[in-house]
Amino acid sequence: MFDSLSEGLQSAFKSLSGKGKLTEGNMRDGLKIVEQSLLESDVSYSVVKEFMAHVTEKALGKRVLLSLRPHEELVRIVHEELVEILGPVDPSLHLNADRPTILMLCGLQGSGKTTTCGKLTQLLREQNIQPLLVAADLQRPAAIEQLKVIGEQLGVPVHAETEHKDPVKVCQNGVDRARRDGNRVVILDTAGRLAIDAELMDQLKRIDKKVGPDQVYLVVDGMTGQDAVNSAGAFNEALELDGVIMTKLDGDARGGALLSVKQVTGVPIKFIGTGERFDALEPFRPEGMAGRILQ
């Protein structure tokens, strides 16, 4: 699983065989390779520094199991630490038993919010739950159309009000409609921007306050690396996030941004998007992602 890293570590540790202990001195080269690997995976510099401090503390003086070579022991420690930071696993949408569950998706424009609305809808449809989608992205006229098409494709209702200019009102009306029609879940597709701005954040805060979503999920584009981390920080400050969905991990991105986003927000990574189709949504698995980041 960690072929390239293991090779590097192997040579860094070749002088160590038989010593039995990982010490600060003989670990230095191996740790440098781990650090480099994380930076190449798009993990942010400050997160890498903090992570390496933890790993060093954990590994220092630790007895190397007789059956393992030192580089394997270090990789194991690094992997373990990554899994711990990336966890816990929580793919549940925490649906209410007695009233509609309101899921609010937010994120930058192009991050994959609207597509993710479709993916979550597909997931719910598989559980025989019919969600109501609410087109609250009034910034991008095409977004309303896009959501309507998704609703038609998946056979679920879409609440859209082209005459309304206030997304808070649209969301409130959508939730009222779901209560009337008996939809167990409401998914709010909110507006994004190409970059964070105060007006967007203000709009999202108003929706959060007035509509009271049960779960607020940040959708981040896994291809954008450092930008994903910066935007996650800003969204996390403005809203009480309950989870993160990282999209576009079907590409070349090694997913290091996920580690930074997790560190910045502290909320569970719920799902990852692995394609444009509605079935391309996977519950997040820290073990798999740790292996990918370390490759």
Note whether 87 and 191 are within 8 A (CB): no
Note whether 81 and 286 are within 8 A (CB): no
Q: Is 193 annotated as a binding residue?
A: yes
Note whether 41 and 86 are within 8 A (CB): no
Among residues 30, 167, 192, 213, the one that binds ligand GDP under rule CB under 6 A: 192
Please report, as residue ranges, which positions from 221 to 260 form the binding site for ligand GDP (by CB under 6 A). Answer: 247-248, 250
Q: Is 233 annotated as a binding residue?
A: no
Does the protein bind ligand GDP through residue 122 (CB under 6 A)? no
Which of the stretches 156-164, 201-209, 256-264, 272-280 binds ligand GDP when contact is defined by CB under 6 A? 272-280
CA distance 13 to 84: 25
Does the protein bind ligand GDP through residue 280 (CB under 6 A)? yes
The least distance separating ligand GDP from the CB of residue 285, rounded to whole angstroms, comes to 16
The least distance separating ligand GDP from the CB of residue 163, rounded to whole angstroms, comes to 22
Does the protein bind ligand GDP through residue 268 (CB under 6 A)? no
CA distance 112 to 224: 12
Note whether 261 and 244 are within 8 A (CB): yes
Beta-sheet pairing, 185-190 with 101-106: parallel
- At which residue do the structure tokens 């391309």 appear? 280
The least distance separating ligand GDP from the CB of residue 223, rounded to whole angstroms, comes to 8
The least distance separating ligand GDP from the CB of residue 112, rounded to whole angstroms, comes to 3
CA distance 219 to 221: 7
- With 0-12 / 13-18 / 19 or more C-beta atoms within 10 angstroms meaning exposed / middle / buried, residue 47 is buried
Among residues 243, 256, 273, 286, the one that binds ligand GDP under rule CB under 6 A: 273
Does the protein bind ligand GDP through residue 276 (CB under 6 A)? yes
- Phi and psi at 132, nearest 5°, equal -110, 130
The least distance separating ligand GDP from the CB of residue 146, rounded to whole angstroms, comes to 6
Which of the stretches 16-24, 125-133, 193-201, 268-276 binds ligand GDP when contact is defined by CB under 6 A? 268-276
CA distance 200 to 237: 13
What residues make contact with ligand GDP under the rule CB under 6 A?
Answer: 107, 109-115, 192, 247-248, 250, 273-276, 280
